Amino acid sequence: MASFSSSFLYTLDQNGNSTNGKVVELIPSSASTATESTNDGVITLGETFTVTFSDPDTAATYDGVYTYVGYETVVSGVIGQDVHGDYFVFTNDGTIPIHSNLNGFVAEDFPVCYARGTMIASPEGERPIETLRIGDLVRTHGGRLRRVKWVGHRFIDCRLHPNRKAVWPIRIAADAIALNHPSRDLLVSPAHTICVDLFGEMLVHAGNIVNGASIAQIEVDEIEYWHVELESHELLVANNLPAESYLEMANRDFFAEGGATRDSYASPWRTHDDFCRPVMKDEADLAFVRRRLTERAEEIGWIRSRDAELRLVVDGKVLSPVSEGEASIFSLPAAAREVRLVSNTFVPEQFNMPDSRRLGVALLGLVFSAGGETREIALSDPRLADGLHPEEGREGVHWRWTNGDLALSTAMFAGMIGVVTLHVCHDDRATRAWIAPVPTSRPALRLLQAGVQG
């Protein structure tokens, strides 16, 4: 995009380049035009853009050069940092609540599209999205036949991408929303909106309803994204699930076809007001939807797993514990030279918790004993530095998360003789993973997966 216009400017706090950022203030009379420095049609991380405001008073304070740091998918806004280090969001949405969070922040240009192999409803039945051409007819969620105006696609090697989370697809499992909705697993980009009907039909960004089970972001080496534009914003039927058609949001140049057709399809930068359904942005509403979809996941057979697979690696040998409640008990030789407490790991963010750390187990305490001697190891013990996150606490209970591989200094049981018993006290209530239900026979699903991989 050589330039873009926006109607509103909001100031952000010092965390404005992350999902922890908060909206501070709406600047009055802040309509502006921004021009990128490279004029190549794609604004990239670290690139500068020059902003000119229409109102003279606003221009006197805010005209100048900003550095692009990311995009806010929920409010459809460009986030820039000025020469003083302050953050701002340029948007056409004048209804953003003050003090709200940037829940949809992504530090990269973002795709809004379907994966190759998605089946789109048409008069002839379902068709793979990559077979659609300009002028073809598709059947919308309301049953109307609409003609394809434009088709775009882009291949992404996720291994080379600077922000893989921005491009890894969201997998919406078969039946995740309702029975046969979708009819087979659907892969869309995190910023893509689908239609849910819990209190009236509304659009939600796929990345905002991840529950780690039936709706999860999956790590892939590569992905090919496609999108379809109609004469107006509509709900396509994708794998039997209503989901949005393409709407110009100053991102057509993301697609391989974008540059060649920029003049033919020029249109103003749209906002959520131009969407065919209201876009859900309130965090309380999104939390309700996530809870309901998590309940739905359990209804169709997804099972929570809390097993940390805790084990002790002593001089290269793996030892399994005997469990007693929240304690895991190991026996190791006093002469051990290297001891590590190892577990599987998980990222709470993947389960709709505001924590992007990779965590092992929540350690409550360690106790070594041998020959009648007992040594309790405090969580603050400096010998526990390698493999632990900082101490946390609530309501008088304190713990420290491991990173999945905690080194235990032999100094903690030095001088003990014979067999040493180690009691590891930990909190095992966290959902660490989901076990998928046994799949039923779905030939179309196998076809979709083959298409995505190909």
- Looking at per-residue pLDDT, the higher value among 273 and 300 belongs to 300
In this prediction, residue 449 has a pLDDT band, given cuts at 50, 70 and 90, of: very low
Q: For residues 247 and 112, what is the distance between their CA atoms, to the nearest angstrom? A: 9
Radius of gyration of the chain (CA): 26
Strands (E), 165-278: 170-172, 186-188, 193-197, 201-205, 215-217, 222-229, 235-238, 241-244
pLDDT single digits (tens) 319-364: 999 987 678 999 999 999 999 999 999 988 777 777 878 999 999 9
pLDDT single digits (tens) 127-166: 999 999 999 999 999 999 999 998 888 888 888 876 677 7
Q: For residues 268 and 74, what is the distance between their CA atoms, to the nearest angstrom? A: 18
pLDDT single digits (tens) 173-225: 999 999 999 999 999 988 889 999 988 899 998 988 999 899 999 999 998 99
Judged by average pLDDT, the poorest of 9-23, 120-134, 272-286, 404-418 is: 272-286
> Percent helix, strand and coil across the chain, each rounded to 5?
15, 40, 45
The full length of the chain comes to 454
The answer to whether the beta carbons of residues 138 and 132 sit under 8 Å apart is yes
Place of tokens 């340029």: 90
Phi-psi region of 135 (alpha: psi -120 to 50; beta: other; left: phi over 0): left
| pLDDT at residue 445 tops 50 | no
Q: Please, what sign has the CA dihedral across residues 357, 362, 365, 368?
A: negative
CA dihedral 123, 129, 133, 139 (to 10 degrees): 30
Average pLDDT of the segment spanning 269-296: 81
Give burial (CB, 10 Å; 0-12/13-18/19+) of 437.
middle
Which two three-digit tokens encode residue 391?
């101490």
Mean pLDDT of the chain: 85
Amino acid at 45: L
Average pLDDT of the segment spanning 56-67: 94
Integer CA distances (angstroms), 195 to 44, 276, 284, in order: 30, 10, 18
Q: For residues 449 and 173, what is the distance between their CA atoms, to the nearest angstrom? A: 12
Give burial (CB, 10 Å; 0-12/13-18/19+) of 292.
middle
> What residues have CB less than 8 Å from 15, skipping those under 6 apart?
21, 22
CA dihedral 58, 63, 68, 73 (to 10 degrees): 20
In the prediction, which pLDDT does 266 show? Answer: 44
In the prediction, which pLDDT does 25 show? Answer: 95
pLDDT single digits (tens) 389-399: 999 999 899 99
The answer to whether the beta carbons of residues 452 and 350 sit under 8 Å apart is no
Integer CA distances (angstroms), 390 to 42, 380, 393, 395, 398, in order: 40, 9, 10, 17, 11
Rounded to 5°, the CA angle 105-248-56 comes to 75
In the prediction, which pLDDT does 106 show? Answer: 66
